[in-house]
Amino acid sequence: MKSAILITYNREDAINEAKGLCDAAGYEVVHTITQNFLQKPKYGISGGALEKLEELSEKLRPDVIVFDEILKPHQNYSLASVLHREVLDREGLILEIFESRASSAESKLQVKLAQLRYEMVRAKEKVRLSSMGEQPGFMGIGKFEIDVYYNDIKHRMQTVRSKLEKAGKQRDLHRQGRKRMGFKTISLAGYTSSGKTTLFNKTTGEAKTQSKELFTTLTTTIRRLIINQEPFLISDTVGFISKLPAYMIDAFKSTLEELVHTDIIILVIDINDSVFELKKKFSSCMRTLSELGVEKDKVVYAFNKTDLQKKEEIQRKIDFLNLTENEKVISVSAKTGENIKELKELIKDVIESQNSQKFNRNSLEGVAESFGN
Ligand SMILES: Nc1nc2c(ncn2[C@@H]2O[C@H](COP(=O)(O)OP(=O)(O)O)[C@@H](O)[C@H]2O)c(=O)[nH]1
Ligand SMILES: [Mg+2]
């Protein structure tokens, strides 16, 4: 696993999320530096913090420095020159995660488009700087080369867009492949650091150390899970990310495409979040699921990390989300294993009711047909 020094905001939720993003991208965080402000002009951070970072970078020799904010190209360049390390900003990190997780032809193209867009913004900044004569030969490139580079990105974006139009048709082939395997599928969804991977490991009974597990989930995000002697395939999806830039939304959604075809979605919700965060994240998840065209009755809501909260507090938070009587709700601890057995039973019940519904629908169709003729 590659190593990273992480620079993020001085807030627990920001730290947890940034660490979660590093994990998902396959970086082990060897040190975390927190700051109240990450948008200082030259390096993003203050001179004092930079000195400390320089020392740490020299000592720990990480593969990358992850900067949990958007960096302008000149900031990235300045940081990398001082630290002699590759610097990955927040958007660059998110794009790496999407790239490693995109599986269908369509999602690969969506991610490519987002990557080009990311480069485009940076190329524009270079053009602007060089035309102001502010930094002649900035990053070793002159005005002419930047123009060529910029036009090349534009051209490549057009190519990807036209490929995307065609890729839509291939999607159906992909879907059929899945069906043929004959397994019922379960997908884990939810925000980064809500506990999807921990739950994935707990339900499938893996016993490796966590960092290794996190790494293996990058390559093998699908495992077999047996409930009542029936085999299922369970998969760990890309997590929702707070403050996702608008231009990345299509790429993100396309990596979630499997949620449309899966039989059960376990929406993992971190009960440890504040009521405000909980509500905000919950509505964002629900909005995205509905935009993807997911049927609501296959969603199981798993309120996770119950080991960190009192029973009354957990209930208060669940009540706050106004879930109706019909929704399938369960509180679990992926860490201690509390209610995992009950979660599996709930899954089994949902599958059974789906089967009987399908049976009813089929028999009704049969009746309609015989009457029609
Ligand atoms: N206390 C507690 N911590 C948990 C639980 N589930 C996950 N975590 C921790 O929450 C963090 C994020 O978990 P992870 O499974 O990587 O989240 P993911 O980003 O959704 O895959 C890790 O530090 C886990 O150890 C839980 O039930 N209880
Ligand atoms: Mg995970």
Q: What is the pLDDT of residues 120-138, one digit of tens each?
A: 988 887 777 766 665 544 5
CA distance linking residue 27 with residue 83, whole number of Å: 18
CA–centroid distance, residue 144 to ligand 2 (Å): 43
- Res. 302: pLDDT tops 70: yes
Does residue 347 surpass a pLDDT of 70? yes
More confident residue, 241 or 129: 241
Break the chain into its structural domains and give their ranges: 2-98, 103-165, 181-362
Residue 119 near residue 153, CB atoms below 8 Å: yes
Segment 333-345 shows an average pLDDT of 97
Indicate the pTM of the whole model.
Answer: 0.87
Around ion ligand 2, residues with a beta carbon closer than 5 Å are 196-197
Average pLDDT estimate for 170-176? 56
Give me the pLDDT at residue 219, please.
39
pLDDT band with cut points at 50, 70 and 90 for residue 371: low
Ligand 1-lining residues (CB < 6 angstroms): 20, 23, 190, 192-198, 239, 304-305, 307-308, 333-335
Check residue 178 and give its pLDDT. Answer: 54
pLDDT tens, position by position, 317-337 = 999 998 988 899 999 999 999
User: Cβ distance 123 to 143 under 8 Å?
Assistant: no
Q: What is the CATH number of domain 181-362?
A: 3.40.50.300
Q: Which pLDDT does position 169 carry in this prediction?
A: 63
Residue found under tokens 């396309």? 254
Most confident of 18-22, 176-180, 235-239: 18-22
How many percent of the chain have pLDDT more than 90? Answer: 65
Q: For residue 142, what are the contacts with CB-CB under 8 A and spacing of at least 6?
A: 130, 136
Residue 272 phi, psi (nearest 5): -80, -10
pLDDT of 368 reads 55
pLDDT of residue 346: 96
Cα 277 to chain centroid distance, Å, stands at: 17
Q: Do domains 2-98 and 181-362 have the same CATH topology?
A: yes
Cα 234 to middle of ligand 1, angstroms:
18
C-beta of residue 2 within 8 angstroms of C-beta of residue 26: yes
> What one-character DSSP code corresponds to residue 44?
B
List of residues 6+ apart from 189 with CB closer than 8 A: 196, 237, 240, 256, 259, 265, 266, 267, 268, 285, 289
Report how far ligand 2's centroid is from the alpha carbon of 94 (Å). Answer: 13
**75 C-alpha vs ligand 2 centroid, how far in Å?**
30
- Write out the two tokens for 14: 């920001």
- Residue ranges of alpha helices (H) inside 132-209 are 143-180, 196-204
213 pLDDT tier (thresholds 50, 70, 90) = very low
Report how far apart, in Å, the C-alpha atoms of 257 and of each of 85, 197, 351 are: 35, 19, 20
Q: Which of 191, 198, 267 to mutate to test the pocket of ligand 1 (most atoms within 8 A of CB)?
A: 198
Report the top-level CATH class of 2-98. Answer: alpha beta
